[in-house]
């Protein structure tokens, strides 16, 4: 065997588990894409390869649903939710990481406890509050609470900020910078990977959120998000698996593309986030 063949076999043996894991995750995506291009009749058979490539299925999804409207609602929810979460979580994480005040550890324990609290526990009282304010049948009950921060985002940012040497912030304060200016000019540029990771986490959460819109979006089709709209589309086209798979592919494609475009920032932010107490 040539040297090139031995190197190829060595690479396969070294990465066999990773390759098998990648194939396991790619197989459903490939099956979804191939089914989306089949006819109605073939989608109900055991065939795995389309007899004809029906690209018109994607156009038919737009004709039979309010997909663009759902995408707009989801983008509004995800964009505002991500912006509000980052803006509100960064100062809290900075205070927990840098300031010394009475009750700091207790406040950090409250953040950790909030991460463990299932949203279903407080769903009823919070829904009653928003109902009295007249904000149900909309996405604002999901967007506005993010102005108060997110427990997981605060925890992740705090764990990163404690790894930044204090010499940088002390030097900025010696030069006359206030705490806010130190945060904006010194800390945030150094914490850019962690902020990007938090933003991606929150964006993906809002994009895929089903439970929240199910509670507050109501039953009107033009108020739905993509996850909830996809469920209703599947209910109306339960036997047309080609259209259901086409709609699913259209919903999942943006987040997959976004993840691959920002993959290095996401991995860097997660990797550099320490566990220092």
pLDDT at 115: 86
| Secondary-structure breakdown of the chain: helix, strand, coil percentages, each rounded to the nearest 5 | 75, 0, 25
User: What token pair was written down for 73?
Assistant: 């609602």
How large a percentage of the chain has pLDDT more than 90? 22
The answer on pLDDT for 79 being more than 90 is yes
HEC sequence for 114-126? HHHCCHHHCHHHH
pLDDT at 1: 54
Higher pLDDT, 268 or 167: 167
Instruction: For the chain, report the end-to-end CA distance as a whole number of angstroms.
Output: 54
Provide the 8-state DSSP code for 239: T
pLDDT at 275: 42
pLDDT at 266: 62
Q: Are 123 and 215 in contact (CB under 8 A)?
A: yes
Q: Are 257 and 249 in contact (CB under 8 A)?
A: no
pTM: 0.82
How large a percentage of the chain has pLDDT more than 70? 94
pLDDT at 130: 92
pLDDT at 88: 93
The answer on pLDDT for 277 being more than 50 is no
The answer on pLDDT for 44 being more than 60 is yes
Q: Is 11 exposed, middle or buried (0-12, 13-18, 19+ CB in 10 A)?
A: exposed
Q: How far apart are CA 35 and CA 46, in angstroms?
A: 10
Q: Is 209 exposed, middle or buried (0-12, 13-18, 19+ CB in 10 A)?
A: buried
pLDDT at 267: 65
> 166-182, pLDDT tens digit by residue?
888 888 888 888 888 88
Model confidence at 190, in pLDDT bands (50, 70, 90)? confident
Q: How far apart are CA 128 and CA 206, in angstroms?
A: 22
Of 99, 81, 100, the closest CA to residue 89 belongs to 81
Higher pLDDT, 167 or 3: 167
Model confidence at 132, in pLDDT bands (50, 70, 90)? very high
pLDDT at 77: 95
Provide the 8-state DSSP code for 20: H
Model confidence at 73, in pLDDT bands (50, 70, 90)? very high
The answer on pLDDT for 265 being more than 70 is no
Q: How far apart are CA 263 and CA 204, in angstroms?
A: 13
How large is the average pLDDT for residues 15-20?
80
pLDDT at 276: 44
Q: How far apart are CA 229 and CA 210, in angstroms?
A: 10
pLDDT at 274: 46
Secondary structure of residue 18 in the 3-state scheme: helix
């Amino acid at each position: 065997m040539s040297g090139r063949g031995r190197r190829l076999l060595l690479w396969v043996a070294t990465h066999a588990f990773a390759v098998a894991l990648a194939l396991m995750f790619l197989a459903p995506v490939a099956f979804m894409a191939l089914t989306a291009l089949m006819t109605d009749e073939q989608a109900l058979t055991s065939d795995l390869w389309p007899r004809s490539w029906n690209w018109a299925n994607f156009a038919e999804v737009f004709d039979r649903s309010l997909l663009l409207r759902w995408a707009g609602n989801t983008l509004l929810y995800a964009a505002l939710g991500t912006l509000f979460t980052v803006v509100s979580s960064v100062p809290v994480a900075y205070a927990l990481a840098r300031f010394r005040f009475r009750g700091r550890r207790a406040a950090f324990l409250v953040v950790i406890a909030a991460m463990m609290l299932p949203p279903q526990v407080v769903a009823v009282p919070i829904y009653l509050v928003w109902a009295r304010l007249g904000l149900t049948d909309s996405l604002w009950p999901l967007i506005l609470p993010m102005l108060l921060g997110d427990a997981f985002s605060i925890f992740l940012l705090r764990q990163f900020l404690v790894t930044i040497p204090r010499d940088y912030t002390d030097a900025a304060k010696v030069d006359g910078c206030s705490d806010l200016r130190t945060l904006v000019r010194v800390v945030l540029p150094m914490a850019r990977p962690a902020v990007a990771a938090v933003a991606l986490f929150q964006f993906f959460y809002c994009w895929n959120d089903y439970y929240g819109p199910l509670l507050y979006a109501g039953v009107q089709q033009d108020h739905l998000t993509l996850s909830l709209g996809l469920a209703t589309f599947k209910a109306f086209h339960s036997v047309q698996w080609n259209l259901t798979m086409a709609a699913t592919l259209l919903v999942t494609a943006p987040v997959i593309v976004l993840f691959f475009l920002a993959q290095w920032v996401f991995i860097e932010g997660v990797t550099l986030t320490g566990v220092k107490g």
